Amino acid sequence: MIPTLTGAMLVPPRELLSIGFAEIALGATQVVNFDSAAVGSVPPGWTVAMTHAGGAPKWEIRKDESAPSKPNVFAQVSEDKTGGRFPPAIFDQANLTDGALSVKFKPVSGSGDQAAGMVWRYRDPDNYYIVRANALEDNVVLYKVEGGKRISLAPKGTASNTYGVAQKVLKNTWSTLKVTFQGKSFAVSFDGKQIFEVEDSTFTGPGKVGLWTKADSVTYFDDFQIETK
């Protein structure tokens, strides 16, 4: 069995292989690369959800020759333009309190949004944390969704109404987003550089992790890394 650390539940190696894991030998750090999943499917071990209203989400495995680990990516491909439409894809095999997530992402299209994000301490579609990068706004913002309401959380050391940080996010280009979460402290990095920290204590217990987009964002994801603390 993979070691179970405080606040973490991970599945055994045989199950990991069946859902597309490429395990790396660093404690309980693992990477989902999607390469063993069937094209057009939602991979086993994932659940598609919806926060707020709008057209049904459409997550599926696609082939992409530009993928960081070829051949497959996991993509949200619905082009519904409803502004408050947040369709996460939740990984059911990890339940973390403290840890780190990172993902490689490529914004493909979207006239209203071109967003790519990750969620953690996910309880249900109305209660979780998100960090997201947006290629139309060129910024990175950390939020909480509490009772179905999305609220931005100001970076540490800034005014309470500060909306994330400015960050160039290239369209049709692979970038890496990372968040480390320990207690009430969250640190966000973009392409290997830490860009801000946030403190919040709304959700302190364990929850699931996953991927996230908004509105008509068509976004490709690869190499979703989960690290327990």
Distance, C-alpha 97 to centroid of its chain: 15
Q: Cα(140)–Cα(112) distance, rounded to whole angstroms?
A: 16
pLDDT at 4: 30
For residue 41, the surrounding DSSP H or E stretch is none
Identify the pLDDT of residue 19.
Answer: 36
Yes or no: say if 43 and 20 are a contact pair by the CB < 8 Å rule.
yes
119 residue type, one letter: V
Digit-by-digit pLDDT tens for the chain (229 residues) are 333 332 333 333 333 333 343 333 334 899 999 999 999 999 999 999 999 989 999 999 999 999 999 999 999 999 999 988 999 999 999 999 999 999 999 999 999 999 999 999 999 999 999 999 999 999 999 999 999 999 999 999 999 999 999 999 999 999 999 999 999 999 999 999 999 999 999 999 999 999 999 999 999 999 999 999 8
**Residue among 96, 74, 90 at smallest CA distance from 28:** 96
In this prediction, residue 45 carries a pLDDT of 95
